[in-house]
Amino acid sequence: MSVTKSRQQNVDTSTSLFVVELLKLMKSRYDYRELSKITGLPISTLTRYVTNKTLPRGAKTRDLLNRLIEDLDIPSMVRERIRMNNGFVDITPVVTDGSLLKLITLHAVHGFAGSKITGVISLDEAGIPIATCIGLMMDRKIFYISDKLVWDADEALQLTYYVKETAEYKSVWLPRSAINKKENLLAVVGVLKQPALIRELNARIIEAGGTISGLFSVVALENALAELSLVSAGRRISLLTV
């Protein structure tokens, strides 16, 4: 079997598994008759997928995945659950909802399919559950940034950045092993509001010969996205912009 054909089969299997996961989640909202109307698939076929008796195959599988993701309207589900107060965004109800967390993970993995990613790094506490789920699903290394020194000093790297909104310098730490020329990281953040941190992290990664292959956020502040427009950080996906 050729390498190209083998890779194509892996991609198809991954897509098929995503479709089954989404169908199972949708089955909790719709009965088989309604699900059949949404997907265009016979009830007998849906039953075999949902009960793990077979996997969807063929060229239309990816189209079906896109249709399911679009039908679920994950951004609206996120908007319904977030709490906002004077510019503060709390996504705790989002990242503690197992079903929604699974949907977000599937959306992120699907969105970055084909990207060269060797590891996933969370940039805030709210992003840790998401980064962990993405890393597990993609079978990649998982890192996180902390505002406390939780590693041995010789194993940690300190990043200091300036927050113009509060006119102060802040420091965070991350494992030194996350930044090297072999790592192509997917940066994950629950609420994207500190572009200065991402700029500093990106500069240190580039300096070490690595790359940020992508940036995924559940909620992004519009002004933060604008400030990051000139930063090269791979593909960017945000479920919701406020």
Instruction: Name beta bridge partners: 190.
Output: none
Return d(Cα 90, Cα 97) in angstroms, integer.
Answer: 13
User: Got the DSSP string for 11-41?
Assistant: HHHHHHHHHHHHHHHHHTTS-HHHHHHHH--
Residues 57 and 166 in one domain: no
One domain for residues 110 and 55: no
SS3 5: helix
139 and 236 in a single domain? The answer is yes
State the pLDDT confidence band at 120, using cuts at 50, 70 and 90.
very high
pLDDT band at 53 (very low <50, low <70, confident <90, very high): very high
* Three-state SS sequence of 143-189: EECECCCCCCHHHEEEEEEEECCCCEEEEEEEEHHHCCCCCEEEEEE
Compute the average pLDDT of residues 21-48.
89
Residue 4, pLDDT above cutoff 60: no
Q: Which of 72, 98, 128 is the last residue of a domain?
A: 72
Average pLDDT over residues 196-211: 90
Task: Tell me the sheet residues that pair with 90.
Answer: 83
Both 187 and 232 in one domain: the answer is yes
> Is residue 6 over pLDDT 90?
no
**39, 67 in Cβ contact below 8 A?**
yes
Q: Which domain holds residue 18?
A: 3-72
Look up the CATH number of the domain holding residue 17: 1.10.260
What integer is the mean pLDDT of 54-83? 85
Pairing of β 119-122 and β 88-90: unpaired
Number of domains in the chain: 2
pLDDT of residue 194: 83
